[in-house]
Amino acid sequence: MTNLYLIGNWKQHGSRAAIQAFSKQWSFNANPALRIAIAPPFPYLQALVEALPGCELAAQDCSVHAQGAYTGEVSADMLADLDCQFVLVGHSERRQYHYETDELIAEKLAAAQSAGVTPVLCVGEQLSAREAGEQEDVVRAQLRSALAKSQPNLLIAYEPVWAIGTGLTATPDQANEMHAMIKQEVESLLGASQATPILYGGSVNAENADALFACPHVDGALVGGASLEAASFMAIAQSASNNLSH
């Protein structure tokens, strides 16, 4: 284990007042091997970086286009211009509410990489697939199409859809098993020399973080609800920090 990653996904939450309140409570001396980032809605990227020095910036999405007449879109180059280190790509809420396909996700991944922003590719199965025992097939298929044009520079977040925002978490064994499969698949797709960090996401909180970070194949977490409050996000960061040596 070299680095652990902790990324807060604020989704469509936040305000200037919320960022100020968060920054007043936030005090965490991260070990350099623990990379902490927050993905606020686009309008708050600048305010967040000013309010939380030491915390890296992530965006929740990017366009496939570098620039042009695409109303409402934000390019990966613009994110790079704001010193955004990471961008989520293919989050299940984008797949569900914006009908993002694996092909589009592959293009977004390539756009982020060519702009120098590290994509965090989100994959994960629906509850019906887990119940049918098809979770590995689903995730493998997502990886194969999303990584078709990818360079090795990326993170992957395994987020079982049934665990997102539901309070249900994959057990550490379920997460670890899936992460091991993802690592193997990514190695065969992108080359064996590449160790791609795999983050777990889906109802991570201060109570379950320790057990998840203790898993050998869990290299970090993508945290939604529990990243909105500085206290719970700091507690998760502390768990990550305690587990850095595994």
**Rounded (5°) CA angle 89-90-96:** 145
Using CB atoms, what's the residue nearest to ligand PGA? 224
Of 4, 6, 9, 77, the one binding ligand PGA (CB under 6 A) is 9
To the query of whether residue 159 is one of the catalytic residues in this protein, the response is yes
For ligand PGA, which is the closer residue by CB, 67 or 166?
A: 166
Minimal distance in Å, beta carbon 9 to ligand PGA?
4
Among 121, 143, 223, 230, binds ligand PGA (CB under 6 A): 223
Say how far apart CA 149 and CA 142 lie, in whole Å. Answer: 13
Residue 222 found at the interface with ligand PGA (CB under 6 A):
yes
Nearest CA-CA partner of 38 in 197, 224, 209? 224
Please select the residue that binds ligand PGA; options are 90, 119, 197, 201, rule is CB under 6 A.
201
> Which DSSP state fits 4?
E
Q: What is the largest CA-CA distance in the chain?
A: 48
* CA–CA separation, 107 and 95 (whole Å): 14
The one among 100, 125, 159, 219 contacting ligand PGA by CB under 6 A? 159
Q: Which of 93, 100, 125, 159 is catalytic?
A: 159
237 in contact with ligand PGA (CB under 6 A) = no
The CA-atom distances, in angstroms, between 160 and each of 11, 175, 178, 193 are 17, 9, 10, 27
Active-site hit among 56, 91, 100, 125: 91
Q: Which stretch binds ligand PGA (CB under 6 A): 43-51, 68-76, 130-138, 195-203?
A: 195-203
Residue 164 phi, psi dihedral angles, 5° rounding: -85, 115
Q: Which residues are catalytic?
A: 91, 159
